[in-house]
Structure 1
């Protein structure tokens, strides 16, 4: 799937370029990237982002028009004080115009833009998961300003902020622009052993602020695959202090980033989709446990537990985006909780398979609660988490998943995280109502008459009888819940009994009536 101009700008954005013209809108697809020197022979650039180098300002106008005539979707130039002229030329030619900031190196812009375009084209239906999305997630969870670098200190991705210019220090600004940080500061990092500690393991390294050098406080963690370092995640403190669990977030983020960098190095990005499909197959029992164990280096017979996450509200038009962002948040937190955590999205839910988990302890509940909080802060959506029971091996993962789904299906509005034992009655009731809905032959015709009467006469007899049954016949308590007079409720119950032929004096019949009425209310809502 091609990356759109909007997605490219969301990733690299204002630190490098400014949008000056979008005659075809921001959702135009970018098929690739080309570099053009005015002295080169003209070529064709269908749907590509064209970087015009070697000239700037008014002198770049001819190259801009030529690139647009040959199919370029967007053209990037350095304005050199001729913004109005370039804007008019781009608008007339029908190509988007990106003005590159004067101090940005072309090789830096090319490298980052190619990475974003490559991630979009390789991901296909995989959704997000690129390093820029990860950097933005880490920034949200840590309250810092994030950059992800390779072992040569080249910036691979970075987070964006609405007030980025006010928050970032000189080291971050120079790093994003592709330049080296202050030599004295880099020398001190080496002398303090920061780089050695980042190479040694996955412990988070704290680096104090140095106001004399214009450097703010930082957290850093190495990105490792086995004993090999692949890069570093740096988090600079922004306008507010780091989040309390920022270090834990960094550990999980480094593990997620390692997967991205391994696939990038081996050019096996499409394999990410295969791995997610394999996890989905484990969840529904299609994939053999030994294949999953061999692929991810797990013990097939070790315990495991499944957590299911669901987006409960939000704009339906942005539901897929919310689900994708939830998957990113879950992957970071789950990896921080369990190194070997497996995450995937299936239909409208995100699942985390946690190998080696033997019980639903406080740490696991805390992790789930942090996902809920982070999703609300990032996307403004309500998320709930249902925990399945631990199972003795990977073969039991489908059972744990089914239980997690049942817990999610039965959770009330007030709950964020729940396990089966806490809402056993709600789970069993939900399952029973599902059976009633699935079996039309079990429906009571008397209840159907009562529902039809309510609909035709705009009355609330079904709700009134359910409230009376919920209160175990306590008229005053039920009437107070409905905010009606007790005599009004007594009349409604008598009227419903006559219409539906209810036998409220028979305990068994009363139980069946209660279930049928609850099923009717659920169907109506």
Structure 2
């Protein structure tokens, strides 16, 4: 290696391509180099000999860092360091994902991460001189990554209006939708779905930064585009070639929330997704369904705690429509009204007990546990319910009807 005094001069050379820049850094540091944008997509990489690890090979083939490698780097604390610091860091090998020893540095501009430089160091001794060279390389790469960052932001701004038109159903022809998508470089596959992440309170720059980062680093399913609407993140998801799309969408939403919680301490986000459709024309429907799921999760936080997909709602899918019908017809369930009147007069819990019993599929033991009472106590209440409400709890039609009306009451007044 040449004397360190020569490096500043070497880094001042002009380069006719991003690859030429990566090759020059690799030559100076004497190890293979990868330059990535802020979402781990390759900008350029240097030539290398045969002694490279599996993670580097997979990254070059996919043109982005594999998702399992990114996850391990977060778990090890490396990514958290890089997002907060402009100093280089030594990354020990992670054998389970084929990652060898690395030196890494994040390229920052005004507190924003523009990208990363990764140097595969084999078993080379990590000296202060080598770490200093990584910082010089980051300064050299900053302008290139900044230009890439500006182009990406311009692209995102340009597709926002198209995305809103898609969600509103203003574009009705599939061919026109796909034509406009190609214009903005969006890959619409088949099938597609809309996912939504709702945050409790204002969305900070930190939340927005990490939420966008996650949409870019998930590789299957693939997030085509995303946009924030007040405190909600809306994501168009491409599920092409994904086995069991509904199961994968649920995992996508759950993983998204889990990773936000792990990385920035956000534990108050809710996730939802609409049905999976083969045509982009139906994204307005998937969006409306995802919104419906979020609204119902707010109204029934306990019952729908683990529900994310519209298809998982069951009878909850129809509550808004049924509520509108009941209101239009000025309908009241006489049995339920009698039970409510009895509860009010006697300060009892017959309606709540009936709700728990029906929600637990008529299982007395589970319902009693939910109500924190003895099973004999609940059996006594059920007898009072049948007498006062004049309800036959062995008749499924009566049970379903009063259960739906109890849920509508919960929508209007909260848990009973």
TM-score with structure 2 setting the length: 0.56
The whole-number CA distance in structure 2 between the counterparts of 1:463 and 1:172 is 58
CA 1:417 to 1:502, structure 2 compared with 1: closer, same or farther past 3 Å? closer
Matched ranges for 1:42-441 at <5 A? 143-144=77-78, 159-160=83-84, 205-208=118-121, 210-213=125-128, 215=130, 231-232=144-145, 258=148, 260-262=149-151, 272-273=156-157, 275-287=159-171, 289-290=177-178, 292-298=180-186, 302-311=189-198, 314=200, 319-321=201-203, 325-336=206-217, 337=219, 341-355=224-238, 357-359=240-242, 360=244, 367-377=252-262, 378-408=264-294, 418-419=308-309, 423=312, 427-438=313-324, 439-440=326-327, 441=330
Relative to structure 2, which stretch is displaced further, 412-421 or 370-379?
412-421
TM-superposition CA deviations, 1:28-59 (whole Å, max 9, x none):
xxxxxxxxxxxxxxxxxxxxxxxxxxxxxxxx
Secondary structure, in 3 states, of the residue corresponding to 1:341?
strand
Matched ranges for 1:10-29 at <5 A? none
After TM superposition, give the deviation of residue 372 of structure 1 in Å: 1.3
The whole-number CA distance in structure 1 between the counterparts of 2:87 and 2:152 is 32
TM-score with structure 1 setting the length: 0.46
CA 1:391 to 1:297, structure 2 compared with 1: closer, same or farther past 3 Å? same
After TM superposition, give the deviation of residue 509 of structure 1 in Å: 1.8
After TM superposition, give the deviation of residue 159 of structure 1 in Å: 4.1
Secondary structure, in 3 states, of the residue corresponding to 2:170?
coil
CA 1:373 to 1:230, structure 2 compared with 1: closer, same or farther past 3 Å? farther
CA contact (8 A) 1:304 1:356 kept: yes
Segments of structure 1 that go 5 or more residues without pairing to the other structure are 1-130, 148-157, 179-201, 221-228, 234-256
* Structure with bigger RCO (C-alpha 8 Å, 6+ apart): 2
2:378 matched residue in structure 1: 489
The whole-number CA distance in structure 2 between the counterparts of 1:483 and 1:232 is 59
TM-superposition CA deviations, 1:396-446 (whole Å, max 9, x none):
22233334445555667686684455x2xxx13112322333232343144
The whole-number CA distance in structure 2 between the counterparts of 1:506 and 1:166 is 70
CA contact (8 A) 2:339 2:351 kept: yes
1:506 matched residue in structure 2: 395
CA 1:350 to 1:446, structure 2 compared with 1: closer, same or farther past 3 Å? same
TM-superposition CA deviations, 1:465-507 (whole Å, max 9, x none):
1233345555455334423234432332343344444343533
1:443 matched residue in structure 2: 332
The whole-number CA distance in structure 2 between the counterparts of 1:329 and 1:436 is 39
CA contact (8 A) 1:327 1:344 kept: no
Segments of structure 2 that go 5 or more residues without pairing to the other structure are 1-36, 41-69, 91-102, 136-141
Secondary structure, in 3 states, of the residue corresponding to 2:84?
coil
How many residue pairs get aligned? The number is 309
The whole-number CA distance in structure 2 between the counterparts of 1:332 and 1:176 is 15
After TM superposition, give the deviation of residue 207 of structure 1 in Å: 3.2
TM-superposition CA deviations, 1:355-379 (whole Å, max 9, x none):
4635455776655444212221314
CA 1:407 to 1:140, structure 2 compared with 1: closer, same or farther past 3 Å? same
TM-superposition CA deviations, 1:93-129 (whole Å, max 9, x none):
xxxxxxxxxxxxxxxxxxxxxxxxxxxxxxxxxxxxx
TM-superposition CA deviations, 1:222-265 (whole Å, max 9, x none):
xxxxxxx97349xxxxxxxxxxxxxxxxxxxxxxx94x42167x
The whole-number CA distance in structure 1 between the counterparts of 2:398 and 2:214 is 49
1:26 matched residue in structure 2: none
The whole-number CA distance in structure 2 between the counterparts of 1:140 and 1:294 is 33
The whole-number CA distance in structure 2 between the counterparts of 1:326 and 1:263 is 19
The whole-number CA distance in structure 2 between the counterparts of 1:429 and 1:435 is 11
